[in-house]
Amino acid sequence: MELIDVTVPIRNGMVVFEGDPEVKLSLASAIADGDVANLTRVDLGAHTGTHVDAPVHFIDNGPGIETIPLDALVGPAVVVDATGVTGHIDATALDGLGIPDGADRLLFKTPNSAGDGIWASPRFERDFTALTQDAAVALAARGVCLVGLDYLSVAPFGDPVGVHLALLEAGMAVIEGLDLHAVEPGAYHLMCLPLLIEGSDGAPARVLLGREG
């Protein structure tokens, strides 16, 4: 099986969602300074880069990241070609994307992935493509167990609550921050493992897509 890494690397100066903590990587100890080993200190927000949302992110006293079922995060998935969508992905646009019947893990490749992708920008871009609330409701009605998107939120900038609640209250796993610019639409095997941070509202994840060579 060929493995494709769709994870955004964590590094100093990387793009984060507007208002989120900046990423700071530094050496807490260094061999060059006479210490016995190099030890990196990592300061970042739980929603840095490629990450998974937990219900408590938008549901007060909701479940943390440790409650996301692993069988939702690993299994067959479809990278949906939404690169032709103008504006955000609403329920009408969703109907025109040719999503296969029974597909329950959907990763949306949107105009965010055009060219080298929105991740090539050194600054946060407010004008990214996302899902609308009626699309999120439609995905829940389809019985989808996981949805992923190729930027730092599944919801439009400035209007995060309705989309997130529609997905999280339906028990859906939510992956944000995927780098899909070099990935062809189609069927894959998804492997997404967020850090196990007890009670957290989210966690960075390493996400791989597998396909038969």
Cite the active site residues.
Answer: 57
Residues 158, 175 contacting (CB under 8 angstroms): no
Residue 20 CA to residue 160 CA, distance in Å, equals: 14
- Show the tokens assigned to 187: 């069927």
Output the DSSP codes for 96-148. Answer: TS-PPTT--EEEEE-GGGSTT-GGGSSS--SS---B-HHHHHHHHHHT--EEE
Report which secondary-structure segment, H or E, holds 51: strand 51-53
3-state helix, strand, coil in the chain (%, to 5): 20, 30, 50
- Show the tokens assigned to 200: 């957290």
Q: Pick from 199, 197, 150, 194: which is nearest to 52 by CA?
A: 194
